[in-house]
C-alpha cells in the first residue's frame, strides 16, 4: 500500500506527496501530459527533442544540471508516446534546489538558439545510434506505420525521419512549450524524506506564481477497428530473418488491457511460457521469441516477434505461431497457469515499488490516468481476471483480420 497526500495549487498544478522517512533522499518528479501522440504528422520527434531542450537553460537559470549536481543531485527524463517525465533525486536537505530548478523551467525556458542547434545534432546521433546503425533498428518504424492507419502511434517517439528533427525551428519550440508545459497540464510528485506540510509551502512558493495556462484537450483520431489482415515483407542487410506480428488490444484502463497483459505473459513471459517452450525449444523454429505489449494509454499492440532459425521459412514460423494461438483461443487456460502469471505480476509490482524514484513516477503515471490510487488497486484488477475472460480476449485479439505481419527478410 503506497500512501500519499494530494493537493492542487490555484494554477491547476496537481501535487502528490509520498513520505518515506527510511531514505535520506528526496525525489522530485514532474510529469507533463504530452508525448509523441500529440505531435503533428509533419513535425514528429518533437516531444522528445523538446525533452532535450529542457536541459538547455531556463529563463533565470542558464544551466539546469550544474546547480543540481552541486546540491548532490542527479536527474534524467524520458519521453514516451503518452507522456514526458522529468525526475531528479538529491539529498533531502537540498530539496529546495529541485523546486527552484523545476519551477523555473516550467515558468519559461531560455529558448537558446545554441541549445537547439546542438540538441538537434545530439538527437540525430541518438536516432542513428538506436535506429539506423543497428541491425533491425527500423523494425518498429515499419510496424507502427503498418498497424496504425490514423492514430499518432504511427510514428516513433524519436521521430518519423531525421529531417523532422533537423528542421525544428525555435518558433516551434516556443509554441510547443506554451501549449503543453503549463501547470494545468503537469503533475508534480515529491517523494522520500519529506513532510507534506513543507512540500505544500515549497510548492506554493516556487510553482504557485506560474500562470496556469490553458488545459490541453486531447482529441486524437481513434484508430478504426481493423477489418483485414495487413502484411508487409521487406529485405534488409541483416544476418537472420525476423518475424514480427501485432494485434490491436484495449487501451490502458479497459478491462481487456489486464487480460491482454496476462495473455502475453502466458505466451511469452519466461522459460516456461507457451511460445518459448513449443516453438523455440520443441519445434526449434526460432532462436529467440518474445511476446509483449508496451503498456500504452491508448489502444496498443500485442506483439510476437523473433528471429528464425536458419533454414526455416517465414510461412513455417507464421503457421507455428498461429497454431499456438489457436490453442489458447480454443481451450480455456488452466487455473494453475493463470495463477502463475498473476503471481508473477504480484512480484513485479513489489520489486518495482522498492525504489522511491520508481514509486514517484508510478504515482505520477496513475494520476495522469485519472487517479493515483489506481497504483494500489492494480493488482486486484489482475486477480479479477478469470480463465473465461482470457478465453474471451484471446478470441477478440488474435483474429487474423486484426493482425499486422512483418516479414523482415535477410538479404541473400
Partner 1 sequence: MTLNRKITPPITDAVSFDLQLKKCDTYHLDNGVPVYSMNAGAQEVLMIEWVFYAGNWYEQKNIVAASTNFMLKNGTHQKNAFAINEYFEFYGAYLNRSCYNETATITLHCLSKHIHELLPVVAEIITESIFPEEELNTYRRNQKQRLEVNLKKCDFIANRLIDEYVYGIHHPYGKYTSTLDYDQLNQEELVAFYEKFYKEGNCTIFTAGQVPADLPNTLNTVFGGLPLQKRPVPNIQYTLRPATEKKYNIINDEAGVQGAVRLARPFPNRHHPDFQKVQILNNIFGGFFGSRLMSNIREDKGYTYGIHSYIQNHIHDSAWLISTEAGRAVCEPTIEEVYKEMHILCNEPIEEDELSLVRNYMIGSVLGELDGPFQLISRWKNYVLNGIDETYFYKSVELIKSTSAEELQDLAKKYLNPESFYELIVV
Touching partner 1, residues 267-326 (CB under 8 A): 269-272, 277, 280-281, 284, 287-288, 307, 309-310
Region from 33-41, 72-80, 174-182, 224-232 binding partner 1, contact rule CB under 8 A: 72-80
Residues 164-223 that bind partner 1 (CB under 8 A): 205-206, 209
Size of the site for partner 1 (CB under 8 A): 81
Smallest gap, in angstroms, from Cβ of residue 74 to partner 1?
6
User: Measured between alpha carbons, how far is residue 232 from residues 45, 243, 317 in Å?
Assistant: 24, 11, 15
Contact with partner 1 (CB under 8 A): which of 40, 41, 121, 331? 121
Residues 21-40 that bind partner 1 (CB under 8 A): 22-25
By beta-carbon proximity to partner 1, the closer residue of 116 and 143 is 116
- Report yes or no: 161 and 230 within 8 Å, Cβ to Cβ: no
By beta-carbon proximity to partner 1, the closer residue of 40 and 167 is 167
How many Å apart are CA 141 and CA 161, to the nearest integer?
9
Using the Cα atoms of residue 70, residue 52, residue 103 and residue 360 in order, give the sign of their dihedral: negative
How many Å apart are CA 356 and CA 25, to the nearest integer?
9
The residues, any chain, with a CB within 8 Å of residue 141's CB and separated by 6 or more, are 131, 155, 156, 160
Smallest gap, in angstroms, from Cβ of residue 277 to partner 1?
6
Contact with partner 1 (CB under 8 A): which of 97, 157, 402, 405? 97
Region from 79-87, 177-185, 248-256, 335-343 binding partner 1, contact rule CB under 8 A: 335-343
By beta-carbon proximity to partner 1, the closer residue of 169 and 222 is 169
For residue 206, give the 3-state DSSP assignment.
helix
Residues 348-377 that bind partner 1 (CB under 8 A): 348, 350-351, 353-356
The residues, any chain, with a CB within 8 Å of residue 324's CB and separated by 6 or more, are 267, 274, 275, 278, 279
Closest CA to 49 of 134, 120, 1: 120
Smallest gap, in angstroms, from Cβ of residue 133 to partner 1?
5
- Element at 208 (helix H, strand E): none
Q: Where are the alpha helices (DSSP H) in 273-386?
A: 274-275, 314-330, 335-352, 356-369, 374-383
Region from 103-111, 179-187, 247-255, 317-325 binding partner 1, contact rule CB under 8 A: 103-111
Contact with partner 1 (CB under 8 A): which of 10, 41, 65, 214? 65
Closest CA to 370 of 252, 210, 208, 215: 252
Smallest gap, in angstroms, from Cβ of residue 192 to partner 1?
9
For residue 179, give the 3-state DSSP assignment.
helix
User: Binding to partner 1 by residue 1, rule CB under 8 A?
Assistant: no
How many other C-beta atoms can be found within 10 angstroms of the C-beta atom of residue 59?
A: 12
By beta-carbon proximity to partner 1, the closer residue of 42 and 237 is 237
Smallest gap, in angstroms, from Cβ of residue 117 to partner 1?
7
Q: Say how far residue 42 (Cα) sits from the centre of its chain.
A: 22
Smallest gap, in angstroms, from Cβ of residue 226 to partner 1?
31
How many Å apart are CA 47 and CA 176, to the nearest integer?
8
User: Nine-digit cell at 143?
Assistant: 510496424
User: Binding to partner 1 by residue 120, rule CB under 8 A?
Assistant: yes
Smallest gap, in angstroms, from Cβ of residue 329 to partner 1?
22
Smallest gap, in angstroms, from Cβ of residue 240 to partner 1?
6
Smallest gap, in angstroms, from Cβ of residue 141 to partner 1?
15
User: Nine-digit cell at 74?
Assistant: 542527479
Amino acid at each position: 500500500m503506497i500512501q500519499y497526500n494530494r493537493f492542487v495549487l490555484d494554477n491547476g498544478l496537481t501535487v502528490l506527496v509520498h513520505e518515506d522517512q527510511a531514505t535520506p533522499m528526496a525525489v522530485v518528479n514532474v510529469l507533463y501530459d504530452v508525448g509523441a501522440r500529440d505531435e503533428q504528422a509533419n513535425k514528429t520527434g518533437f516531444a522528445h527533442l523538446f525533452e532535450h531542450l529542457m536541459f538547455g537553460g531556463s529563463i533565470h537559470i542558464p544551466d539546469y544540471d550544474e546547480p543540481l549536481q552541486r546540491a548532490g543531485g542527479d536527474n534524467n527524463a524520458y519521453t514516451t508516446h503518452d507522456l514526458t517525465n522529468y525526475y531528479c533525486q538529491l539529498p533531502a536537505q537540498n530539496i529546495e534546489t529541485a523546486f527552484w530548478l523545476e519551477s523555473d523551467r516550467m515558468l519559461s525556458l531560455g529558448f537558446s538558439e545554441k541549445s537547439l542547434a546542438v540538441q538537434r545534432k545530439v538527437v540525430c546521433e541518438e536516432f542513428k545510434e538506436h535506429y539506423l546503425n543497428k541491425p533491425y533498428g527500423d523494425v518498429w518504424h515499419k510496424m507502427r506505420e503498418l498497424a496504425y492507419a490514423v492514430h499518432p502511434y504511427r510514428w516513433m517517439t524519436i521521430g518519423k525521419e531525421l529531417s523532422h528533427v533537423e528542421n525544428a525551428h525555435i518558433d516551434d519550440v516556443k509554441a510547443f512549450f506554451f501549449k503543453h508545459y503549463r501547470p494545468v497540464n503537469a503533475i508534480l510528485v515529491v517523494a522520500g524524506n519529506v513532510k507534506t506540510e513543507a512540500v505544500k509551502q515549497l510548492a506554493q512558493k516556487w510553482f504557485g506564481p506560474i500562470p496556469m495556462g490553458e488545459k490541453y484537450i486531447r482529441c486524437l483520431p481513434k484508430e478504426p477497428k481493423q477489418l483485414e489482415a495487413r502484411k508487409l515483407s521487406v529485405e534488409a542487410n541483416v544476418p537472420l530473418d525476423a518475424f514480427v506480428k501485432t494485434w490491436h488490444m484495449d487501451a490502458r484502463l479497459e478491462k481487456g488491457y489486464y487480460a491482454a497483459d496476462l495473455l502475453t505473459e502466458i505466451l511469452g513471459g519466461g522459460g516456461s511460457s507457451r511460445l518459448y517452450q513449443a516453438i523455440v525449444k520443441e519445434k526449434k523454429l526460432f532462436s529467440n521469441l518474445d511476446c509483449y505489449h508496451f503498456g500504452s494509454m491508448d489502444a496498443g499492440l500485442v506483439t510476437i516477434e523473433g528471429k528464425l532459425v536458419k533454414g526455416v521459412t517465414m510461412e513455417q514460423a507464421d503457421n507455428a505461431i498461429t497454431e499456438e494461438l489457436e490453442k489458447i483461443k480454443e481451450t480455456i487456460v488452466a487455473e494453475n497457469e493463470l495463477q502463475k502469471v498473476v503471481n508473477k505480476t504480484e512480484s513485479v509490482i513489489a520489486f518495482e515499488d522498492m525504489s522511491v524514484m520508481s514509486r514517484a513516477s508510478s504515482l505520477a503515471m496513475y494520476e495522469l490516468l485519472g487517479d493515483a490510487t489506481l497504483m494500489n488497486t492494480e493488482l486486484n484488477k489482475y486477480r479479477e481476471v478469470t480463465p473465461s475472460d482470457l478465453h474471451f480476449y484471446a478470441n477478440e485479439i488474435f483474429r487474423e483480420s486484426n493482425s499486422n505481419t512483418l516479414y523482415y527478410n535477410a538479404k541473400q
